[in-house]
Structure 1
């Protein structure tokens, strides 16, 4: 922690004004108060502006929140981890109860999944996986295999098309998904236009999206929000009192941009004498083409959002499913535009 200047009080009241003038010229008075935490055993400490946070999410986290290992002991917090489908919204409940579709039951699904996954040449390790993931699974039932034929199940998988549900059932309106179209101008070879606006206009349907504000609100309602840092801070490294403190950078919620935005929000006048805590949601947007399988050309182009209030170590953990899906961009080939 930086050393606190010690000021010797004047001996008589007559010297107070003169001593204060001299003191003000020597010791700079900060424009805003700071709350400084004690140094930890790594020599790191934090500096908050105005007031400390209402709670520290670091007190609720463990190594299991940042890394995966079969040797880690699972806690109740791990059992409440964010499921994979929550990035799309909360209505994809059928994926939990009918995950074996298009197959008739979970037993057939597990068997076919085992056959198509793992190594091409099955080994002793693959045999162990068959026993652990298929034969010993709770939903495995030998009776389901009485009429089993691999060729028939393979044909069922190839020809599957869910006719009982809407083809876009994953983008449920109850989760805020909306469908729209996008108009684009396409120039033609050998044809000159005065401007881009005068070029032929084509309508590209099938753009699914959710309003960003609704996605942010949904993210802060999830159990994973317990690990969100709501109050930004500066981090300093000082191994001992005789070494100058060095400012460190590592997370979005300790960056200068986050601190500046937090200061702007706190300095704005409150409406209706509101006393609620003000929080900056650090929105991080990404987009790239994603292949849906290890074979073929099937792909999607999603736009997804991460929150910088969450530690980068938790966001980078694959099983955290920290991405929130905002939109899916449709692909348009030249043939469809003619």
Structure 2
């Protein structure tokens, strides 16, 4: 009785009453405070998927048993690493143990965006200044509004061109893997009907990095340990009795990506 009375008292204290009518204000049942699913933990023991049974054939003779194709022998069962279904009934199957599960570190703060203070644990605005304004802002010691009166966009662009022309200060150096190539672009005149072959030809120099050099440098970085490099198959099974359905979303969920992963 004491426990029930305490529960009813705490429930009444949590209710908010209207000042006009005195009735309790209740949240509408049409809305549901639902937290999106995040984690898909791996099952403790991976399941084994055996190949489909082969049709029964007559027993080979002794003369033909020695010349049998080794590919016709029974292959080892394929081990599939499957995750547990989330609240939507979605789960994944990996051909090997995944290197990283990005969803395992996602919190509610990563899924929702709402205005808040600079410091999440503080109820007041941070004295460091508004983070939305670029530095320097009006409260900075380096800020001087009189500098805007002498600002010239044309002059600043010229300074950037001179900086790029200086090989010593150029950030796109060959030692860093950058290459220079020439690109030809046809520029037809506006509101003039002419073929592309007769249009003005522009020659533009561009800086670029070979894609293999970019991939190699990224994988050498320490952050590559947190990359997710294992493709998977995703299935949807709303109830334990229903048949799982394959879900296609990104390129790393496709059969072509899984075949490339097996070849590598």
Q: Structure 1 length as normaliser, TM-score? A: 0.39
The higher-RCO structure (CA 8 Å, 6+ apart) is 1
The structure that is helix-richer by fraction is 1
